[in-house]
Amino acid sequence: MNFFFWNTVLSLYETDVLLDERTSKIWVDSRDMTTAEDIFAIGDCASGRPSGTPLAYQAGITLSKRLFEGSSSVIDYNQTLPKFLLTPVEYACIGLSEEAAYIEHGEPRVQVYHSRFQPLQYQLSNR
């Protein structure tokens, strides 16, 4: 999306909300707050945030808990973000990479597990 989209649809020109010049997304801090008082942005429109519906959904839940339940939790986008690749066979991981875990915790303290998985669509059709 571009500046024109956010500015027109959300009437940002009437607020103090700043947009990232490079991406045209809404600038936010670590607590999802924009540069305008009492305006927050989450999900794909927020600058510096990864895209994805499940992540935006969780960001919304976390923000609502901060605003209405007195929570102080924030999403750590570096540690808790699942990484995935949308292919015919999905690949996913979460947390530190194997190499980063060795650096942070030391190789003797890291256990690595491997598994094989055959998607149901291939099991049923014997492909």
- Domain coordinates in residue numbering, the chain: 3-68, 83-125
Q: Which CATH architecture has domain 3-68?
A: 3-Layer(bba) Sandwich (3.50)
Q: What is the pTM of this model?
A: 0.59
Alpha-carbon distance of 25 to 32, in angstroms, equals 13
- Assess contact for 102 and 96: CB atoms under 8 A: no
Alpha-carbon distance of 87 to 89, in angstroms, equals 5
Residue type, 39: I
Instruction: Name the residue among 32, 51, 49, 48 with its Cα closest to residue 40.
Output: 32
Number of H helices and number of E strands within the chain?
4, 2
If one counts every other C-beta atom within 10 angstroms of the C-beta of residue 12, the result is 19
Reported as a single tens digit per residue, the pLDDT across 65-87 is 999 999 999 988 776 566 666 66
Reported as a single tens digit per residue, the pLDDT across 8-55 is 667 777 788 888 888 888 999 989 999 998 899 998 889 888 877 778
